[in-house]
Amino acid sequence: MSEIERIPHCSHWGAYTLLVQDGSIVGVEPFAHDPAPSPIIHSVPEWANPKRRVLRPMVRAGWLDKREHSDRRKRGAEKFVPVSWDEATTLVADEIRRVSTTYGNASIFAGSYGWTNSGRLHHASSLLKRMLNLVGGFTRHVDTYSIAAGPVILRHTLGSSDACDGRANTLDTIADHTETLVVFGALSPRTAQTEAGGIGVHRVESYLRKIVDRGIRIVHVSPLKDDMPEWVGAEWWPIRPNTDAALMLGLAGEIVLAGRHARAFLDRCTSGAEQLLAYLDGSADGVRKDAAWAAEICGLDAEAIRKLARRLVETRSMLTASWSLQRAHHGEQPFWAAIGLASIIGQIGLPGGGVGFGYGSLGGVGSPFNIGKSPAISQLTRPIDSFIPVARISDMLLNPGGTFTYEGKTQTYPDTRLVYWAGGNPYHHHQDLNRLAEAWTRPETIIVQDPMFTATAQRADIVLPATTSIERNDIAGNRRSDFVIAMKRAIAPVSESLPDFEIFDRIAGKLGVADSFNEGRDEIGWVRHLYEEVRQDAVGRHGFEMPDFDTFWERGYARCPVRAEHIFLAEFRSNPAAHPLATESGKIVLGSRTLAELGYADCLPHPAWLDRPNGSAEARRPNCI
């Protein structure tokens, strides 16, 4: 037997070393710099199991015979016919050309979601969109399943989604300065194992232990006690599901009732506060939002709510909310209510105070974050701007020409004829799969590009077998990680599978845009180029020296310039006029002129408690500001 090779690599669950012997992976070792590596990394060798893989290009028999006139209801039931790569890429290129010419490029939906691997070159979603942008464009999705309503409301109330993207207070400042930590939802190392674009170091557990060691009082508000580790010793408040906004507003109302709200902060740093205050004290609707009101809705103790309200203004207090809170009816309200409560307390912009979202939702949220450039292949310029909100796939396919509202504007669903899904599985993460199954019969052609024979691939017309990351060269890194990681090819491609970049390059060639797609670079040329962009940005903008590519590739990793001890909105707090937010007022929006003008019944101009809808079809489709 040959000697064991040690191959650096990375996945969504962290960096690691693959131990390879005689062309097979015989072991996985965690990244030496990671204090809390995820055990999920040990599943990586299973990626090469041929029983789970798409082994060769396949075409559904009925579609191969009749093309766009085939019986679409046989998707998922009809047999596949193996074809050569040349035939498969010709079929794909011809379909893109046919649909764009006959119906327009908005009729092509590039549905990829991007989680197939952590590599930034073979990022299937970006490569698909890069190729389609070179031939006229496509319909895209905006926002994510993980968090959609949250960033939309934050963009209008805080001017950006930074507070939920990993740039709120870093956890080191909470560990050092916070005295009262209120966790709405989860804050657990269990859910912090993953990170888009990979992660070098898992730090959530380390910060939690520092928080515990300092004796910070932790109030954990969640229906599930294990949303925080038992060893944290948090005070558990078993709230009724989906009532977090009511508790936040009740706490804020108690503070206002006692006359202890931060009037100076509200006047200087917020706009529309008078609307929120009128709602809290009941002058707007005749209902005072206080501890008794919240307790009845949330199933909690009113006196405990009163005591917590007093403590929030007496101590340095930090509010955190999981991304999961906005995955519900009126999902924007708990995020906006948390901002409202934090503003009433008045500690936004102070060390260890304020509000942040998503701690523990991904591994990098709350850790020191990369202030340099992250490796990414450009999707190029979009020739058209046709889009849908991410979870409206079924609505789009079932209602061509129908309308929806997004950020206060009315948009139209395209007439989708072609769906190209690369590196994702909507039958795994989409809501109401029966409705999706019906919608899935509407497009004339569905192309799926994936390493695995997923439920989505089984329901395709054309299936293209992509390699997994362990069968190609790539680079991992993202804005929430302080490392970039070399992802070296460890084994040969399984059967006839090809790297995503090569698949799209072949299709681009048949569409006549290969030169613009590949820019004269092969796989390793692109990996080198992406790394050099990161390195040059680090030294040019931040004076931070990173090793040259060859050293990085040999070592397997490089550190990035990062910011630790970050205090969210500190500069804004110190001088709102000099550091205005990108909102309608330049301040934190607690009462929105935009929403007042729109007059939505299901999204008031201020944070509010809106009970669950009555189940009507209209109620199930809320407006999006």
User: In terms of pLDDT, which residue wins out, 489 or 328?
Assistant: 489
pLDDT exceeds 70 at position 613: no
The rounded mean pLDDT for the chain is 96
Instruction: Evaluate whether 607 touches 343 at the Cβ level (below 8 Å).
Output: no
Q: Which amino acid is at 269?
A: C
Q: pLDDT tens digit string along 380-400? A: 999 999 999 999 999 999 999
113 is catalytic: yes
Section 449-464 average pLDDT: 97
Specify the DSSP class assigned to residue 253. Answer: H
Band of pLDDT at residue 616, cut at 50, 70 and 90? very low
Instruction: Evaluate whether 8 touches 17 at the Cβ level (below 8 Å).
Output: yes
Rounded CA gap, 369 and 620, in Å?
Answer: 37
| Alpha carbon of residue 516 to chain centroid | 29
Sign for the CA dihedral angle at 221, 226, 228, 231 comes to: positive
115 is catalytic: yes
* Partners of residue 487 on adjacent β-strands: 474
At residue 327, φ and ψ (nearest 5 deg) are -90, 65
User: What's the token pair of residue 40?
Assistant: 């999920």
Band of pLDDT at residue 624, cut at 50, 70 and 90? very low
Q: Which of 13, 113, 421, 531 is catalytic?
A: 113
| 354-357/317-321 β-pairing | parallel
pLDDT exceeds 60 at position 622: no
Instruction: Evaluate whether 116 touches 135 at the Cβ level (below 8 Å).
Output: no
Band of pLDDT at residue 116, cut at 50, 70 and 90? confident
User: What's the token pair of residue 55?
Assistant: 């082994």
Q: Which of 115, 293, 421, 609 is catalytic?
A: 115
Instruction: Evaluate whether 111 touches 138 at the Cβ level (below 8 Å).
Output: no
CB atoms near residue 286 (< 10 Å): 6
Rounded CA gap, 404 and 390, in Å?
Answer: 13
Instruction: Evaluate whether 11 touches 469 at the Cβ level (below 8 Å).
Output: yes
pLDDT of amino acid 112: 83
Section 298-303 average pLDDT: 98
- pTM score: 0.95
Alpha helices in 240-328, H assignment, sequence order: 244-257, 263-269, 273-280, 291-298, 302-314
Residue 513's nearest CA partner among 359, 339, 609, 383 is 383
Residue 587's nearest CA partner among 158, 164, 152 is 158
CB atoms near residue 33 (< 10 Å): 13
Indicate the Cα dihedral angle 276, 279, 284, 286, nearest 10°. -170
Q: Which amino acid is at 440?
A: W
Rounded CA gap, 450 and 95, in Å?
Answer: 19
Q: pLDDT tens digit string along 206-228? A: 999 999 999 999 999 999 999 99
Band of pLDDT at residue 611, cut at 50, 70 and 90? confident
